[in-house]
Amino acid sequence: MVEHLDEVGVTACVVIGGGGHALVVIEAMQLEGRCTPVAIIDADPASCPPDILGVPVRGDDSTLPALIEEGATHFVVAVGAIGRPQVRRGLFESASAAGLTPATVTHPGAIVSAHATVGAGSQILAGAVVNARTRLGSNVIVNTGAILEHDCQIGDHAHIAPGSAIAGGVAVGAGSHVGIGSSVKEGVTVGAGVVVGAGAVVVSDVDDGLVVTGVPARPRES
Ligand SMILES: CC(C)(COP(=O)(O)OP(=O)(O)OC[C@H]1O[C@@H](n2cnc3c(N)ncnc32)[C@H](O)[C@@H]1OP(=O)(O)O)[C@@H](O)C(=O)NCCC(=O)NCCS
């Protein structure tokens, strides 16, 4: 039983997922101080530690109604689920349907232009940069040190992994994963449900659902 949910009131946030990404998101929330992480749920709570940075792992998805009853009002999807966009989308939709509001998290060490748009439930982590007129959909991860230049459009549930560099005017479709340390050339369109492999350099458009790797990035043989 968590005693302090009522005390934190309207900002009490359930963290969905109890793995490594949750650790990073919880720390960002605690530093930002806008929304308080009060409980973690995970599909496999037995695989999680009892708490992460003092936030208790309370159980699986079936715990959500009890947490709402206790006063939780917000949620954040803290799983990466590389190449499985349906996982992050499904968690976002089921928590929204349960009546929780998506919390948007911005690490105090991130730089977000006043002329950027950030969708509900998105996470912008330490050292990330989101430049002017870039638009993030809902439930997007802009992970540690990622750069989104000006005029980019990032679809719902996409994950821009650590250290990736997205040049101006790039579009990334819903649910795509842009891998760690990769680069995307200006003006390129990356489709929906794409995985850009670690370290790839994307210099031309990528169709929906492909996995691309290498320099220049090419579709992988299936
Ligand atoms: C591209 C990727 C999705 C492929 O995953 P996978 O299908 O499990 O691939 P495997 O690890 O089985 O590797 C298969 C082959 O592809 C190669 N390969 C894997 N990832 C590669 C990459 N990013 N670039 C070039 N080659 C790659 C492997 O060396 C291996 O080659 P081999 O058959 O000659 O030995 C994955 O390696 C990747 O890059 N994921 C992104 C990781 C990321 O962004 N992490 C951030 C977490 S926050």
Pocket mutation for ligand 1, best pick of 79, 82, 178 (most atoms within 8 Å of C-beta): 82
Q: Tell me the CA–centroid distance for residue 207 and ligand 1, in Å.
A: 19
Q: Tell me the CA–centroid distance for residue 184 and ligand 1, in Å.
A: 18
Which atom, in ligand 1's list, is nearest to the CA of 195? Answer: 3
Query: Is the pLDDT assigned to residue 6 strictly greater than 60?
Result: no
Total domains in the chain come to 2
Q: Tell me the CA–centroid distance for residue 212 and ligand 1, in Å.
A: 10
Residue at 140 is within a domain: yes
Q: In terms of domains, do 108 and 207 share one?
A: yes
Query: Is the pLDDT assigned to residue 128 strictly greater than 60?
Result: yes
Q: In terms of domains, do 55 and 141 share one?
A: no
Q: In terms of domains, do 180 and 113 share one?
A: yes
Q: In terms of domains, do 189 and 148 share one?
A: yes
User: Which residue has the CA at smallest separation from atom 44 of ligand 1?
Assistant: 179
Residue at 221 is within a domain: no
Residue at 219 is within a domain: no
Residue at 31 is within a domain: yes
**CATH number of the domain bearing residue 117:** 2.160.10.10
Q: Note every long-range contact of 116-125, with CB atoms under 8 Å and residues 24 or more positions apart, other chains counting.
A: 119/156, 121/75, 121/76, 121/77, 121/92, 123/25, 123/28, 123/76, 123/78, 125/24, 125/25, 125/28
User: Which residue has the CA at smallest separation from atom 2 of ligand 1?
Assistant: 197
| pLDDT (tens digit per residue) in 149-164 | 999 999 999 999 999 9
Q: In terms of domains, do 10 and 88 share one?
A: yes
pLDDT band at 85 (very low <50, low <70, confident <90, very high): confident
Q: Tell me the CA–centroid distance for residue 182 and ligand 1, in Å.
A: 12
Query: Is the pLDDT assigned to residue 83 strictly greater than 50?
Result: yes
Query: Is the pLDDT assigned to residue 8 strictly greater than 80?
Result: no
* 5-9, 194-198, 207-211: range with lowest mean pLDDT: 5-9
Query: Is the pLDDT assigned to residue 2 strictly greater than 60?
Result: no
Q: In terms of domains, do 139 and 62 share one?
A: no
Please give the Cα distance from 124 to 76 (Å, whole number).
12
Q: In terms of domains, do 113 and 210 share one?
A: yes
Q: In terms of domains, do 90 and 50 share one?
A: yes
Q: Which domain holds residue 91?
A: 5-103
Q: In terms of domains, do 119 and 184 share one?
A: yes
Last residue of a domain, one of 60, 79, 103: 103
Q: Compute how many other C-beta atoms are within 10 angstroms of the C-beta atom of residue 136.
A: 29
Pocket mutation for ligand 1, best pick of 172, 178, 213, 221 (most atoms within 8 Å of C-beta): 213
**CATH number of the domain bearing residue 26:** 3.40.50.20
| pLDDT (tens digit per residue) in 48-76 | 999 999 999 999 999 999 999 999 999 99
Q: In terms of domains, do 200 and 117 share one?
A: yes
Which atom, in ligand 1's list, is nearest to the CA of 179? Answer: 44
Residue at 190 is within a domain: yes
Q: In terms of domains, do 139 and 89 share one?
A: no
User: Which residue has the CA at smallest separation from atom 9 of ligand 1?
Assistant: 197
pLDDT band at 222 (very low <50, low <70, confident <90, very high): low
Residue at 132 is within a domain: yes
Q: In terms of domains, do 93 and 108 share one?
A: no
The sign of the dihedral angle between the CA atoms of 96, 101, 107, 110 is positive
Q: Tell me the CA–centroid distance for residue 213 and ligand 1, in Å.
A: 8
B/e letters for 20-48, b = 16+ CB within 10 Å, e = fewer, are: ebbbbbbbbbeebeebbbbbbbbeebeeb
Report the candidate in 127, 134, 117, 120 with the shortest Cα–Cα distance to residue 186: 134
Tokens standing for residue 89 = 């989308």
Q: Tell me the CA–centroid distance for residue 198 and ligand 1, in Å.
A: 7
Burial class, 113, CB count within 10 angstroms (exposed 0-12 / middle 13-18 / buried 19+) = middle
Residue at 222 is within a domain: no
